[in-house]
Chains A and B, each alone.
Chain A
């Protein structure tokens, strides 16, 4: 039985890697497509390897599923930010010396 799947990996593979290229001074590419393509190929290769191994980690990955919860990532970032801000606060009870 043939399964049909238009996954994000398929879309990226086509949208980023294929299509008419505009040369000369008419069009500019705002993206370094070569670099991006390489990155995506590596990503797709690793995603497929992971699927074969039964590791569905990307279903919660915002890159693969943009609507997936990003809470974990955001929490980590927020925690780091809080720590950074706390470090800048004057010591409680102490007085900051003017410089």
Chain B
């Protein structure tokens, strides 16, 4: 039955089929008290996806689909999201996966149960250092003094904001079970994902608000995203070849 029948795998969760509301297409394949959420997939849908130009909407569509299934499970049960693009070779393979990775998956699921992921990002747009003071009516020396003062002010503001962002990272860590630093493109001072226990969320957000006011006054903006399923806190590798 399973030969040639590819299953797209989304997440590992608990084996409670009745508790899930994930729509008609995805289904749960269970092994003991664990289950993996899968759906039939035509491999052709992924054709050439890694060579797609980012202006193609297919990739975004598939990523949103993956996220939607993971979130649907997450509404009622703890989840371990699987990496996008994971395909299992039929139902037997799905059960073998849960069997081989049972202990590891179960421990990890227990760790993230009752938690949600929140993203916090601090963005600081500096005035361009190349902007020049108005030279009208100034002597050369006065002009250079003004210019140096301006550059010093930019430097001071940068240090202030970086210091406050650093204190925010530390303060939030006290309200979180875990935290992971994420990529920081230009102009982003802090980009961190936190795993927060549901009971701690109010305190976590109060802390964010408090720092956001201070950072806003210093010319930076604070963005939060979430709640997310614990995408950033499932850094495990499961499979027959994994140790354990």
A interface vs B, CB < 8 Å? Answer: 1-8, 10-16, 18-33, 35-36, 39-41, 43-45, 48-49, 52, 61-64, 66, 70, 73
User: Would you give the shortest CB distance from A86 to chain B, in whole angstroms?
Assistant: 26
B187 x A18 contact (CB < 8 A): no
Count A/B pairs, Cβ under 8 Å: 186
A10-B225 CB under 8 A given contacts A24-B240, A45-B186: yes
8 smallest CB-CB distances across A and B, nearest first, come from A31-B85, A23-B239, A24-B239, A14-B231, A24-B240, A32-B50, A24-B241, A19-B83
- Asked whether A6 lies within 8 Å of B225 as measured between CB atoms, the reply is yes
Knowing A14-B228, A18-B81, A61-B55, the reply to whether A3 touches B46 (Cβ < 8 A) is no
Main secondary structure of the interface of A (DSSP, over half): mixed
A-B contact pairs, 25 of them (CB 8 A): A1-B213, A4-B223, A8-B60, A10-B119, A10-B225, A12-B60, A14-B232, A15-B231, A19-B84, A20-B105, A22-B239, A23-B237, A26-B88, A27-B9, A27-B89, A30-B46, A31-B46, A31-B50, A48-B187, A62-B57, A63-B55, A66-B57, A66-B60, A66-B61, A73-B55
Q: Which of the residues A3, A12, A30, A45 comes within 8 Å of B87, measured between beta carbons?
A: A30
